[in-house]
């Protein structure tokens, strides 16, 4: 391994922070055959990079994002940004994924809606958005699309692939699909096969979207469409990312004083809706319906989550990406160890005790199968009460694990 300690600081970084970043587009004009057999005439991946590729080209680390994530995983896009990228706590100069040392890359997945090709992209053959005529995508499609992009950048091997949740699925698939390309895998809060319960939750979310009259067979204007259905899908999914104990500590049973028709506040289809506008006046002014004489803070929080999600996510992408997650099953008809047979990477698998979407056992099973297949793998189980989203949150324990494993 090359010693990257003497690489210069990236010029855009402030100490400890990646700083200002801007996304780029990789445009492939070659056709791409999806696992479904359907063919895209080409595709775009929007991506960001932090740090520099070294001369030996062996310090690249690929970050894979989860269902609602994107390519913007560290830094800020402008000085007025209130929030940095989604894994900014993990990635940066001197951070566990150290951008002094590593060349870090992250792309929006194919099928996504943050700049990469997906159902909202224009079909060159028709001049209109693909909608549901976009090919179905799989986790393997996401990985193969990323491989072409990395090659175009001159990246010939990955020091590591890192991801949580659906990002962890991609990391595992990378190690299987391109064994000689991947040196290390860190997969967190993930699974080698989506469970029936996971599929069930995804299906409820999809039904909420499909049933919204605004979905219209997948044909709707940008910033329009099944916004209410998407908000409901997000509200439900958001519960599965958290935990009973975490919600109890954060919200408990605290109620909130509200001035108008409390409890009937609803998510709305307006792009920039305020919550008051969503309150349905079901009786005379000021009279709350019988079932709605109070409101809990957790309800308001969830509605806010739903409302803000629909301003940044495309409903068709939600259908496609949840379907890719459902279809994910590394073992398929065989065993997990057989599936892992090609792997050359060393793996670190991390489970979180309070994650009930991808429970610790499902993570442990990955590590055990890797070991049975004769691979170098270790498993760490972190004690948290913050649920599935623990992998995104501040955790000195996780930082130490990642930092140590990457060296």
Q: Give CA–CA dist 348/402, Å, rounded.
A: 8
Smallest distance from its own copies to CB 372, Å: 21
Check binding of 270 to its own copies (CB under 8 A). no
Is residue 112 near its own copies by the rule CB under 8 A? Answer: no
Q: Which listed residue (39, 179, 250, 260) binds its own copies by CB under 8 A?
A: 250
Provide, rounded to whole angstroms, the least separation between the CB of residue 307 and its own copies: 11
Q: Which of 20, 236, 273, 368 binds its own copies (CB under 8 A)?
A: 236
Contact status: 298 vs its own copies (CB under 8 A): yes
On whether the CB atoms of residues 142 and 111 are closer than 8 A, the answer is: yes
Among 161, 208, 310, 339, binds its own copies (CB under 8 A): 208
Check binding of 210 to its own copies (CB under 8 A). Answer: yes
- The reply on whether position 327 binds its own copies by CB under 8 A is yes
Among candidate residues 68, 121, 165, 395, the one labeled active-site is 165
CA separation for the pair 283, 260 (Å, rounded) = 11
- 347 by Cβ neighbours in 10 Å (0-12 / 13-18 / 19+) ranks as buried
Whether 388 is catalytic: yes
Buried b (16+ CB within 10 A) or exposed e, 133-150: ebbbbbbbbbbbbbbebb
Cα–Cα distance between 283 and 219 in angstroms, integer?
A: 35
Whether 183 contacts 346, CB under 8 Å: yes
> Rounded distance, CA 174 to CA 373, Å?
17
Site residues for its own copies, 124-153, by CB under 8 A, read: 130, 132-137
230 Cβ neighbours under 8 A, 6+ residues apart? 208, 209, 212, 306, 309, 310, 313, 315, 318
Write out the binding residues for its own copies, residues 342-381 only, by CB under 8 A: 356, 359
Give the range of 60-68, 233-241, 335-343, 369-377 binding its own copies by CB under 8 A: 233-241
Q: Which of 102, 215 has the CB closer to its own copies?
A: 215
Least Cβ distance, residue 203 to its own copies (angstroms): 4
Residue 333 as a binder of its own copies (CB under 8 A): the answer is: no
Catalytic pick among 65, 72, 100, 388: 388
What DSSP assignment string belongs to 153-170? Answer: TT---BSEEEEETHHHHH
Q: How far is the CB of 85 from its own copies (least distance, A)?
A: 27
Token pair of 319, please? 């259908």
Specify whether 355 is catalytic: yes
The answer to the question of residue 197 lying near its own copies (CB under 8 A) is yes
One residue of 193, 304, 364, 403 binding its own copies per CB under 8 A: 193
Residue with tokens 């439900």: 236
Q: Which residue numbers are catalytic? A: 165, 355, 388
């Amino acid at each position: 391994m090359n010693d990257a300690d003497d690489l210069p600081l990236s010029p855009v970084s402030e100490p400890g922070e990646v700083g200002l970043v801007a996304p780029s587009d990789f445009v492939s004009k070659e056709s791409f055959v999806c696992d479904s057999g359907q063919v895209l005439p080409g595709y775009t991946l929007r991506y960001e990079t932090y740090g520099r590729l070294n001369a030996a080209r062996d310090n690249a680390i690929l970050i894979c994002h989860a269902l609602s994530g994107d390519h913007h995983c560290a830094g800020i896009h402008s000085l007025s940004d209130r929030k940095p990228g989604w894994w900014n706590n993990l990635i940066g100069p001197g951070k566990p994924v150290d951008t002094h040392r590593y060349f870090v890359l992250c792309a929006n997945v194919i099928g996504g809606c943050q700049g990469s090709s997906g159902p909202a992209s224009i079909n060159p053959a028709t001049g209109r958005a693909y909608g549901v005529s976009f090919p179905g995508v799989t986790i393997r499609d996401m990985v193969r699309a990323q491989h072409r992009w990395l090659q175009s950048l001159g990246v010939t091997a990955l020091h590591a692939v890192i991801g949580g949740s659906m990002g962890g699925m991609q990391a595992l698939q990378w190690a299987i699909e391109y064994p000689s390309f991947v040196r290390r895998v860190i997969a967190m809060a993930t699974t080698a096969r989506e469970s029936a319960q996971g599929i069930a939750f995804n299906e409820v979310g999809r039904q909420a979207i499909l049933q919204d009259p605004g979905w219209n067979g997948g044909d709707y204007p940008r910033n329009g469409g099944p916004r209410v259905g998407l908000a409901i899908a997000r509200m439900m999914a958001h519960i599965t990312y958290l935990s009973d104990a975490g919600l109890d500590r954060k919200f408990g049973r605290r109620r909130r004083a509200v001035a108008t028709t409390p409890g009937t506040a609803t998510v709305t289809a307006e792009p920039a809706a305020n919550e008051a506008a969503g309150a349905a006046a079901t009786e005379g002014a000021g009279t709350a319906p019988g079932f709605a004489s109070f409101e809990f803070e957790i309800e308001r929080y969830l509605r806010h989550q739903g409302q803000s999600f629909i301003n940044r996510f495309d409903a068709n992408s939600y259908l496609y990406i949840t379907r890719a997650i459902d279809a994910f099953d590394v073992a398929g008809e065989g065993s997990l160890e057989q599936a892992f047979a090609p792997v050359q990477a060393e793996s670190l698998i991390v489970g979180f005790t309070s994650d009930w979407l991808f429970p610790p056992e499902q993570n442990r099973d990955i590590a055990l199968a890797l070991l049975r297949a004769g691979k170098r793998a270790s498993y760490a189980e972190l004690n948290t009460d913050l649920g599935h989203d623990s992998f995104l949150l501040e955790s000195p324990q996780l930082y130490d694990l990642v930092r140590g494993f990457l060296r």
